[in-house]
Amino acid sequence: MTYCVGLLLDSGLVFMSDTRTNAGVDNISTYRKMQSWCVPGERFITLMTAGNLATTQSVVSLLEERSKAESDRNPSILEQPSMFRVAQLVGNTLREIIETQSGEGQKADATFSATMILGGQIAPGPMRLFLIYPEGNFIEASEDTPFLQIGETKYGRPILLRGFDPKMTFAEAIKLLLVSFDSTLKANLSVGLPFDLQVYEKDSHEIGYRNRIELDDAYYHAVSDGWGEALREAFKRIPPYEMKE
Amino acid sequence: MTYCVGLLLDSGLVFMSDTRTNAGVDNISTYRKMQSWCVPGERFITLMTAGNLATTQSVVSLLEERSKAESDRNPSILEQPSMFRVAQLVGNTLREIIETQSGEGQKADATFSATMILGGQIAPGPMRLFLIYPEGNFIEASEDTPFLQIGETKYGRPILLRGFDPKMTFAEAIKLLLVSFDSTLKANLSVGLPFDLQVYEKDSHEIGYRNRIELDDAYYHAVSDGWGEALREAFKRIPPYEMKE
């Protein structure tokens, strides 16, 4: 499993992904699930992936190769004129990979499915945030649904629904994400530290703040412990139920 | 979908279930998913059900019929000598129903699967709380895992993990359940009010406090609103993330 969240704030985008991959509980590894591309002053794009690792790595490799080899620069993620076109490119690449892997040779019990979150900004367009399905189609975050989740989405959703505010600062947004990730970690073994973090500031068109939150990150542990404590305090403040017969 | 939780407290058992059933989003109904049996001074048993409604109703009807018709009183839920035997009886009845429905006639796309929570006490035995699988086998709540959930379990789990304390009072436990149910309700349309509530006091062997929390229940709305507020307050108390470059 995996847990990735993309937030659409008024002031920019915040992305967080875990790094645990597993094939059964006895075969776990750490892989980066977040990839960013930047042409300073022109575009910044981040892609997060959930699902079959072979599929998501193939998609990223193909997008990477297409963006790097001069002779094969079309269609390239760095040449698309808009985020919508990038989403189409990623969606088509994803569908292509899944079709190729599903179509031939030995069959696997597992599916080759994958889901992705894509966000960024290409000048002169606005910031956009998409969720791309295995079928290659996609939906976009909006004012009404200002955050997107993929992977193990349920445990961490209530606090996002309750705590998200499009006007929050990046520091607050990161705190919110860590609480959401912590709730997920506590309930699902297949989501694990370290977490990758990427912030994009609106209209900057450059790589913003990024960090990897490691297993021994002091702030993460302060959030995890502090949140348990804060929740119990919050719970105490709700008046008790009255058992009227 | 459904959401049911059974809590094993030091002082007794608390059960809560929602009442929404659906076959697609355009076909929803309200059904009681909680059933209790009592022989005052001797035994108290509560059963909560999730899954295929035809299956769970059949199981309950069969258990009811067996418990009521004098001539057909064996095996009866009211004659089993221990909670373990009751769990076996319910498990076997469940497996029997699923086998019968799956085996013959027209096939359905949906499965006939169901999962149940069974709790209670039969003198002179201790209180026990079980989760019964569609296969008819079951697991028991213990000190380490003092609550059991069935149905849409994920959204409401983080607060149970953080907030549960076996020494809490019934009133606190009900508050905790309402917070957990509220988080689930906010995220999944197929879980809905009213909620059924049943409290069993340890060694009482009688029907304890019970209530149906209706759509317009003032306390539920106070919890729902208050919890959103309390969560935001709790969130504020966590120190902000420091974006060190």
> What digits encode the pLDDT tens for the residues A51-106?
999 999 999 988 887 776 666 555 678 889 999 999 999 999 999 999 888 776 66
Confidence (pLDDT) at B101: 81
Interface A:B, Cβ pairs < 8 A: 127
In one-letter notation, the amino acid at residue A127 is M
- Does the distance separating the beta carbons of B234 and A158 come in below 8 Å? no
Instruction: Find, in chain A, the residue whose alpha carbon is nearest to that of B186.
Output: A158
Instruction: Find, in chain A, the residue whose alpha carbon is nearest to that of B219.
Output: A241
Q: Which of B163, B232, B241 sits opposite A174 (nearest CB)?
A: B241
Which residues 135-164 of A are in CB contact (within 8 Å) with B?
Answer: 154-159, 161-163
Q: Tell me, yes or no, whether B50 lies in a domain.
A: yes
Q: How far B225 CA sits from the closest chain A CA (Å)? A: 10
Confidence (pLDDT) at A35: 94
Instruction: Judge contact between A94 and A84, C-beta under 8 A.
Output: no
B176 has a chain A CB within 8 A of its CB: yes
Percent of chain A with pLDDT over 90: 79
Confidence (pLDDT) at A127: 97
**pLDDT-based confidence at residue B245 (cuts at 50, 70, 90):** low
Q: How far B75 CA sits from the closest chain A CA (Å)? A: 34
- Does the distance separating the beta carbons of B245 and A238 come in below 8 Å? no
Res. A26: pLDDT tops 90: no
Say whether A173 sits in a helix, a strand or coil. helix
Q: Tell me, yes or no, whether A243 lies in a domain.
A: no
Mean pLDDT of A16-24: 92
Task: Report, in angstroms and rounded to the nearest whole number, the Rg of chain A calculated over CA atoms.
Answer: 19
CATH of the domain at A185: 3.60.20.10
Confidence (pLDDT) at A100: 85
Sign, CA dihedral B53-B59-B62-B66, equals negative
- Does the distance separating the beta carbons of A238 and B223 come in below 8 Å? yes
Q: Cα–Cα distance between A3 and B135 in angstroms, integer?
A: 31
Res. B187: pLDDT tops 80: yes
- Does the distance separating the beta carbons of A230 and B238 come in below 8 Å? yes
Q: Cα–Cα distance between B206 and B122 in angstroms, integer?
A: 10
Distance of CA B170 to the CA centre of its chain: 16
Substitution target from B1, B3, B7, B154 for chain A, most A beta carbons within 10 A: B154
Confidence (pLDDT) at A242: 92
Q: Cα–Cα distance between B240 and B245 in angstroms, integer?
A: 15
Nearest to B222 by CA among A243, A239, A232, A160: A239
Mean pLDDT of B170-193: 94
Backbone phi and psi for residue A97, each to the nearest 5 degrees, phi listed first:
-65, -45
- Rounded to 10°, the helix B170-187/B218-237 angle is 80
Q: Tell me, yes or no, whether B244 lies in a domain.
A: no
B195 has a chain A CB within 8 A of its CB: no
Confidence (pLDDT) at A245: 61
Tell me what the pLDDT averaged over chain B comes to.
Answer: 91
Confidence (pLDDT) at B154: 95
Q: Give the number of domains in chain B.
A: 1
- Rounded to 10°, the helix A218-237/A170-187 angle is 80
**pLDDT-based confidence at residue B105 (cuts at 50, 70, 90):** low
Residue range of the domain that includes B148: 3-237
Cα–Cα distances (Å) from B61 to A182, B33, B49, B96, B180, in that order, read 43, 12, 13, 13, 29
Instruction: Find, in chain A, the residue whose alpha carbon is nearest to that of B218.
Output: A241
Res. A7: pLDDT tops 60: yes
Confidence (pLDDT) at B244: 75
Q: Which residues of B120-143 are buried (b: 16+ CB within 10 A; e: fewer)?
A: bbbeeeebbbbbbbbebebebbee
Q: Tell me, yes or no, whether A87 lies in a domain.
A: yes
Instruction: Judge contact between A165 and A11, C-beta under 8 A.
Output: no
Q: Cα–Cα distance between A201 and A209 in angstroms, integer?
A: 9
Q: How far A78 CA sits from the closest chain B CA (Å)? A: 26
Which residues in chain A have Cβ-Cβ distances shorter than 8 Å to B242? Answer: 171, 219
B68 has a chain A CB within 8 A of its CB: no
B16 has a chain A CB within 8 A of its CB: no
Q: How far A94 CA sits from the closest chain B CA (Å)? A: 28
Q: How far A82 CA sits from the closest chain B CA (Å)? A: 29
- Does the distance separating the beta carbons of B209 and A227 come in below 8 Å? no
A218 has a chain B CB within 8 A of its CB: no
Instruction: Judge contact between B48 and B33, C-beta under 8 A.
Output: yes
Q: Cα–Cα distance between A87 and A128 in angstroms, integer?
A: 10
**pLDDT-based confidence at residue B71 (cuts at 50, 70, 90):** low
Confidence (pLDDT) at B1: 83
Tell me what the pLDDT averaged over chain A comes to.
Answer: 91
Q: Tell me, yes or no, whether B242 lies in a domain.
A: no
Res. A9: pLDDT tops 80: yes
Instruction: Judge contact between B6 and B120, C-beta under 8 A.
Output: no
The ipTM (two decimal places) reads 0.88
Res. A24: pLDDT tops 90: no
Confidence (pLDDT) at A124: 96
Confidence (pLDDT) at B102: 78
pLDDT in tens, A186-214: 999 999 999 999 999 999 999 999 999 99
**pLDDT-based confidence at residue B110 (cuts at 50, 70, 90):** low
Q: Cα–Cα distance between A65 and B150 in angstroms, integer?
A: 47
pLDDT in tens, B188-202: 999 999 999 999 999
Nearest to B147 by CA among B3, B8, B12, B2: B8
Nearest to A157 by CA among B165, B185, B19: B185
Q: How far A59 CA sits from the closest chain B CA (Å)? A: 30
Q: Cα–Cα distance between A3 and B191 in angstroms, integer?
A: 24
Q: Tell me, yes or no, whether B119 lies in a domain.
A: yes
* Strands B43-51 and B34-39, bridge-based pairing: antiparallel
pLDDT in tens, A99-125: 888 776 666 666 789 999 999 999 999
Instruction: Find, in chain A, the residue whose alpha carbon is nearest to that of B234.
Output: A230
Which residues 27-46 of B are in CB contact (within 8 Å) with A?
Answer: none
Percent of chain B with pLDDT over 90: 78
Confidence (pLDDT) at A64: 83
Q: Tell me, yes or no, whether A242 lies in a domain.
A: no
Say whether B80 sits in a helix, a strand or coil. coil
Nearest to B8 by CA among B125, B183, B130: B130
Res. B20: pLDDT tops 90: yes
Most trustworthy range by pLDDT among A26-30, A36-40, B126-130: B126-130
Most trustworthy range by pLDDT among A54-63, A175-184, B74-83: A175-184
B68 or A2, greater pLDDT: A2
Q: Cα–Cα distance between A15 and A149 in angstroms, integer?
A: 10
Q: Tell me, yes or no, whether B127 lies in a domain.
A: yes
